[in-house]
């Protein structure tokens, strides 16, 4: 995930109640693979109306949840390492290296949102919101930095290069390589960085 905060972060009411609702939502998703507002209200000890007042609707709750997970796992510091890298290629390497191990921490929720998007409009909206911010605000920023430094290879645009980075670093790709095919996290970081750099980064 590791993305910029969404507009859904504007909160209502008691912050402790909000945290309790988000924690309950996270628990239920990992236990059952699905979540309803009634279940969240019961688990967190509040009324359904309170959940609505804090998050607006189920989409708002799920979008807020993925931001909550990022904050809980310390994503702000991880993003800072990407943005503070000395140059664009270093930012790219830092991003891939971070994804090599961070995805393991968020994969349970990622699976739910990915699979659920095909039959649940709320899960689909939460997933597309999250992945759109990843593509545009983080991956897009990295590639534009590479381009601004004169390192983007001929034949590529910032958009097409960002599209490639976005797709190959998606949780599903990570899962196939590390879980199904047995790559170590170090191998994932090394090989993906090498592939991406050879594809669209010029040598100095």
CB atoms within 10 A of CB 17: 18
CA distance 194 to 204: 15
| pLDDT (0 to 100) of residue 9 | 42
Domain membership flag for residue 148: yes
Q: Note whether 166 and 110 are same-domain residues.
A: yes
Both 81 and 55 in one domain: the answer is no
Helix intervals (H) in 34-170: 37-44, 48-55, 58-72, 75-83, 88-116, 121-133, 140-148, 158-168
Looking at the structure, tell me whether residues 49 and 107 fall in a common domain.
Answer: no
Q: What span, in angstroms and rounded, lies between the C-alpha atoms of 13 and 112?
A: 28
The domain of 52 spans 7-71
Q: Same domain, yes or no, for 103 and 196?
A: yes
The predicted pLDDT at position 57 comes to 86
Say which CATH number the domain at 31 has.
1.10.357.10
pTM of the model: 0.79
> What pLDDT, on a 0 to 100 scale, did the predictor assign at position 1?
53
Number of domains in the chain: 2
* Gap between the Cα atoms of 69 and 130, Å rounded: 12
pLDDT for the residue 6: 42
- Judge whether 1 lies within some domain: no
Residues 186 and 87 in one domain: yes
Q: Are residues 154 and 61 in the same domain?
A: no
Co-location of 180 and 103 in the same domain: yes
pLDDT value at residue 10: 44
Statement to judge: residues 102 and 152 lie in one domain: yes
- The predicted pLDDT at position 172 comes to 94
| Whether residues 104 and 11 fall in one domain | no
96 in a domain, yes or no? yes
Same domain membership, residue 96 and residue 32 = no
pLDDT tens, position by position, 12-24: 568 899 999 999 9
Distances (CA, A) of 97 to 33, 112, 177: 28, 24, 14
Does 2 fall in a domain? Answer: no
Q: What tokens does 80 get?
A: 């800072």
| Residues 55 and 119 grouped into a single domain | no
**pLDDT tens, N- to C-terminus, the chain (204 residues):** 555 434 334 445 688 999 999 999 999 988 887 788 999 999 999 999 999 999 988 888 888 888 888 888 887 888 899 999 999 999 999 999 999 999 988 888 888 888 888 888 888 888 888 899 899 999 999 999 999 999 999 999 999 999 999 999 999 999 999 999 999 999 999 999 999 999 999 986
- pLDDT for 115: 85
Distance CA 51, CA 154 (A): 51
SS3 sequence of 70-106: HHHCCHHHHHHHHHCCCCHHHHHHHHHHHHHHHHHHH
What is the per-residue pLDDT across 99-129, written as a single tens digit (0 to 9) for each?
A: 999 998 888 888 888 888 888 888 888 888 8
CB 82, CB 98: distance < 8 Å: yes
Query: Looking at the structure, do residues 56 and 120 belong to the same domain, yes or no?
Result: no
Angle at 99 between CA 104 and CA 3, to 5 degrees: 105
């Amino acid at each position: 995930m590791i993305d910029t905060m969404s507009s859904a972060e504007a909160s209502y009411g008691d912050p402790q109640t909000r945290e309790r609702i988000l924690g309950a939502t996270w628990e239920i998703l990992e236990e059952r693979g699905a979540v309803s507002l009634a279940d969240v209200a019961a688990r967190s000890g509040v009324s359904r109306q309170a959940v609505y007042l804090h998050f607006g609707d189920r989409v708002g709750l799920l979008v807020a949840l993925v931001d909550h997970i990022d904050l809980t796992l310390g994503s702000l510091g991880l993003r800072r390492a990407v943005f503070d890298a000395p140059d664009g290629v270093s930012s790219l390497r830092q991003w891939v290296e971070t994804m090599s191990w961070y995805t393991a921490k968020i994969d349970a929720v990622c699976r739910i949102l990915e699979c659920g998007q095909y039959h649940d409009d709320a899960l689909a909206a939460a997933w597309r919101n999250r992945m759109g911010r990843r593509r545009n605000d983080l991956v897009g920023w990295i590639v534009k930095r590479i381009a601004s430094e004169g390192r983007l290879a001929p034949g590529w645009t910032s958009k097409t290069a960002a599209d490639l980075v976005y797709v190959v670093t998606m949780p599903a790709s990570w899962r196939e390589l590390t879980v199904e095919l047995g790559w170590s996290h170090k191998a994932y970081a090394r090989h993906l960085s090498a592939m991406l750099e050879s594809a669209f980064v010029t040598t100095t």
